[in-house]
């Protein structure tokens, strides 16, 4: 039976535990995916910056992966990783790479040449230059990429429902059969709220990490 | 792994998997029809709006934010909201079950990249060039047609390309709400616990996604005489105006940005 109401208080109270579990799963899948994505993207970005030929290969491959629809990507990973969270996380990591690698490379390339020159003149080696000068200056671009990657990862996680690890997507998939509107609306709204919350947290983190930009903005 | 590969080959060799409503041919036609129709609608609605907003220089906040909103809202949720809502899951001619709900969702997700890129493209047209055209006596319509549009064309086409990729992906998700399209082969495989079928369906979806992207990149090259001219005459001021967020995926933007480093 198709109910007409979109909001149902009883549903919220009686299924609150299931909702909390779904949100928790959604959060950890998103966080793990984006963090792994960041850890993988950094060396890829450094390689891409160092070797022009690799840049073409790395950016090209990650862009091609990005055009593969999520349902198909999870399905293609199925024989390798089965009905596990690994399938979803691997897919989400691959998607996040497209944005993260590009933004890290862009951020590093945008570091003013005279700043790099000055650091070299002060005797900075390559490693120290990267971690204390170039990466901090690339933070705005990296964080912009992180915001996009995280927000789209929250949305894409729902498709993980196809292998039973879709967080709130599991509740959406369940509602396909029951056609229970309050469940659809609640899960959808929670998804968007989750994306907005993550976005705000990253913006906050960026403000803390780049104290020099605060004075300029104010 | 090898077993799965053999299963996939066997799946493609079985003519029964190609025929009928559930068959590959019908699903592919549905999927292509959905993608074409939705992209066309989104272009007809989104392009004039974005070009006009860009021309008069208003509504930038909306045009840029529409992409951020599009990213945050799961396509699965929108498809389901539409299909359990008033739109329903009735058949719509060649578009199949839940055709209307699917089409509406596809158009909604095709609009953000089209609007954002077209708007940013229009705004990034060099102000001096516009000034010069005005000085030569060009008026609104003429300025739009012979100066702004040609210069904004690369980004406009990029937006359409991103929209096509987005629509293709969203149409796949339609299967999750028992809608039309190639995703149905994947979901059917999951229901039957037939890994070979799941992978076969996914392969078709992925290969066509890459094919579409490739075709669009090719079309973009052919359509873009300005970029070629720009490349030979050295970089112009394409950087600056950091108003728009990175809209993702464009090789052309990449190459346009590189000279800044040198």
Q: Tell me how close the Cα of A123 comes to any Cα of chain B, in angstroms.
A: 23
Q: What is the pLDDT of residues B154-198, one digit of tens each?
A: 899 999 999 999 999 999 999 999 888 999 999 999 999 999 999
B213–A67 CB contact, under 8 Å: yes
In the predicted model, what is the mean pLDDT of chain B?
83
B210–A68 CB contact, under 8 Å: yes
Q: Is residue A215 part of a domain?
A: no
Candidates A65, A69, A146, partner chain B, best to mutate (most B CBs within 10 A): A69
Which residue pairs, CB below 8 angstroms and at least 24 apart, start in B67-70?
B67/B112, B67/B113, B67/B115, B67/B116, B67/B245, B67/B247, B68/A151, B68/B245, B69/B112, B70/B108, B70/B109, B70/B111, B70/B112, B70/B113
Q: Is residue A195 part of a domain?
A: yes
Instruction: Check residues B2 and A136 and name the one with the higher pLDDT.
Output: A136
CA distances from B75 to A39, A91, A122, B54, B211 (A): 27, 17, 52, 27, 22
pLDDT value of residue A215: 64
pLDDT value of residue A13: 82
Q: Tell me how close the Cα of B211 comes to any Cα of chain A, in angstroms.
A: 10
pLDDT value of residue B99: 84
| B103 pLDDT above the threshold of 60 | yes
Per run of 10 residues, the mean pLDDT along chain A (length 218 residues) is 69 87 96 97 94 90 91 94 94 95 94 94 93 93 94 95 95 90 93 95 91 66
Q: Is residue A26 part of a domain?
A: yes
Q: Is residue A216 part of a domain?
A: no
pLDDT value of residue B254: 35
pLDDT value of residue A14: 84
Query: What is the mean predicted confidence (pLDDT) over B86-99?
Result: 79
Q: Give the closest of B80, B168, B173 to A175, CB-based.
A: B80
Q: Give the closest of A60, A148, A169 to B246, CB-based.
A: A148
Q: How confident is the model at residue B86 (pLDDT cuts 50, 70, 90)?
A: confident
Indicate the number of domains in chain A: 1
Domain residue spans of chain B: 34-234
Query: What is the mean predicted confidence (pLDDT) over B131-151?
Result: 89
pLDDT value of residue A128: 93
pLDDT value of residue B237: 43
| B248 pLDDT above the threshold of 50 | no
pLDDT value of residue A121: 94
B225 Cα distance to chain centroid:
22
Which residue is closest to A186 within chain B, CA to CA? B77
Q: What is the pLDDT of residues B30-79, one digit of tens each?
A: 999 999 999 999 999 999 999 999 988 888 888 878 888 888 899 999 99
Which residue is closest to B245 within chain A, CA to CA? A144
pLDDT value of residue B227: 62
pLDDT value of residue B204: 95
pLDDT value of residue B241: 38
Token pair for A72 = 């198909």
Q: Is residue A157 part of a domain?
A: yes
Q: Give the closest of B84, B169, B261 to A179, CB-based.
A: B84
Q: Rounded distance, CA B130 to CA B215, Å?
A: 32
Q: Rounded distance, CA A64 to CA B86, Å?
A: 37
Residue A73 sits at the chain B interface (C-beta within 8 Å): yes
Q: Is residue A53 part of a domain?
A: yes
User: Percent of chain B scored above 90 by pLDDT?
Assistant: 50
CA distances from B169 to A161, B88, B190 (A): 16, 21, 18
B71–A148 CB contact, under 8 Å: yes
Q: Rounded distance, CA B34 to CA B167, Å?
A: 8
| Residues contacting B158, CB < 8 A, separation 6+ | B117, B121, B220, B247, B250, B252, B253
Q: What is the pLDDT of residues B19-30, one digit of tens each?
A: 888 899 999 999
CA distances from B249 to A4, A204, B140, B158 (A): 41, 26, 32, 9
Q: What is the pTM of this model?
A: 0.85
Q: Rounded distance, CA B181 to CA B209, Å?
A: 13
Helix boundaries (H) for chain B? 2-13, 24-56, 60-72, 75-84, 99-123, 127-135, 140-143, 149-173, 183-192, 195-223, 225-232, 251-257
pLDDT value of residue A2: 47
* Cα–Cα nearest to B116, from B38, B53, B167: B53
pLDDT value of residue B34: 93
Q: Give the closest of A158, A180, A188 to B81, CB-based.
A: A188
pLDDT value of residue A36: 98
Q: What is the pLDDT of residues B231-243, one digit of tens each?
A: 666 544 444 333 3
Q: Give the closest of A70, A184, A196 to B169, CB-based.
A: A70
Token pair for B75 = 């396509």
Which CATH number does B34-234 carry?
1.10.3720.10
Which residue is closest to B170 within chain A, CA to CA? A69
Q: Is residue A172 part of a domain?
A: yes
Q: By residue range, what is the domain housing residue A37?
A: 9-210
Q: Is residue A168 part of a domain?
A: yes
How many beta-carbon pairs below 8 A join chains A and B? 162
pLDDT value of residue B69: 85
* Cα–Cα nearest to A176, from B97, B182, B207: B97
Q: Tell me how close the Cα of B113 comes to any Cα of chain A, in angstroms.
A: 14
Tell me the angle at which helices A70-81 and A85-109 cross, rounded to the nearest 10 degrees. Answer: 120
> Residue A187 sits in a domain of what CATH number?
1.10.3720.10
A72–B186 CB contact, under 8 Å: yes
ipTM of the complex, rounded to two decimals:
0.89
């Amino acid at each position: 039976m198709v109910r007409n109401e979109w909001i149902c208080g009883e549903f919220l109270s009686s299924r609150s535990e299931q909702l909390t579990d779904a949100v928790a799963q959604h959060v950890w899948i998103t966080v793990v995916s984006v963090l792994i994505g960041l850890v993988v993207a950094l060396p890829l970005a450094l390689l891409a910056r160092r070797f022009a030929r690799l840049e073409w290969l790395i950016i090209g491959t990650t862009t091609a992966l990005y055009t593969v629809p999520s349902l198909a990507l999870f399905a293609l990973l199925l024989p390798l990783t089965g009905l596990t969270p690994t399938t979803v996380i691997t897919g989400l990591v691959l998607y996040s790479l497209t944005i993260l690698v590009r933004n890290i490379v862009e951020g590093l390339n945008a570091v003013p040449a005279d700043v790099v020159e000055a650091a070299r003149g002060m005797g900075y080696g390559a490693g120290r230059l990267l971690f204390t000068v170039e990466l901090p200056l690339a933070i705005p671009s990296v964080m912009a990429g992180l915001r996009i990657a995280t927000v789209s990862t929250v949305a894409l996680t729902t498709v993980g429902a196809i292998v039973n690890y879709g967080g709130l997507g599991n509740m959406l998939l369940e509602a396909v059969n029951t056609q229970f509107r309050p469940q659809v609306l609640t899960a959808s709204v929670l998804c968007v709220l989750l994306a907005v919350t993550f976005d705000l947290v990253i913006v906050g983190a960026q403000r803390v990490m780049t104290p020099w930009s605060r004075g300029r903005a104010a | 792994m090898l077993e799965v590969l053999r299963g996939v080959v066997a799946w493609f060799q079985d003519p029964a998997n190609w025929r009928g409503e559930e068959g590959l041919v019908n699903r592919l036609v549905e999927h292509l029809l959905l993608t074409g129709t939705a992209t066309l609608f989104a272009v007809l609605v989104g392009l004039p709006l974005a070009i006009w907003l860009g021309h008069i220089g208003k509504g930038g906040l909306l045009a840029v934010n529409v992409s951020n909103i599009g990213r945050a809202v799961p396509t699965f949720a929108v498809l389901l909201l539409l299909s359990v809502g008033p739109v329903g899951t009735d058949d719509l001619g060649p578009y199949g079950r839940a055709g209307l709900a699917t089409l509406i969702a596809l158009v909604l997700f095709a609009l953000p990249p089209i609007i954002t890129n077209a708007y940013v493209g229009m705004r990034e047209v060099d102000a001096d060039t516009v000034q010069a055209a005005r000085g030569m006596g060009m008026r609104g319509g003429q300025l739009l047609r012979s100066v702004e549009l040609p210069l904004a064309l690369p980004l406009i086409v990029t937006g359409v390309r991103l929209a096509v990729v987005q629509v293709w992906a969203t149409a796949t998700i339609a299967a999750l709400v028992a809608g039309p399209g190639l995703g149905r082969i994947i979901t059917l495989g999951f229901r039957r616990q037939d890994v070979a079928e799941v992978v076969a369906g996914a392969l078709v979806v992925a290969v066509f996604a890459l094919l579409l992207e490739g075709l669009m990149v090719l079309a973009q090259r052919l359509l873009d005489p300005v970029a070629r001219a720009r490349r030979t005459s050295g970089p112009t001021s394409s950087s600056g105006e950091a108003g728009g967020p990175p809209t993702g995926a464009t090789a052309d933007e990449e190459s346009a940005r590189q000279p800044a480093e040198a």
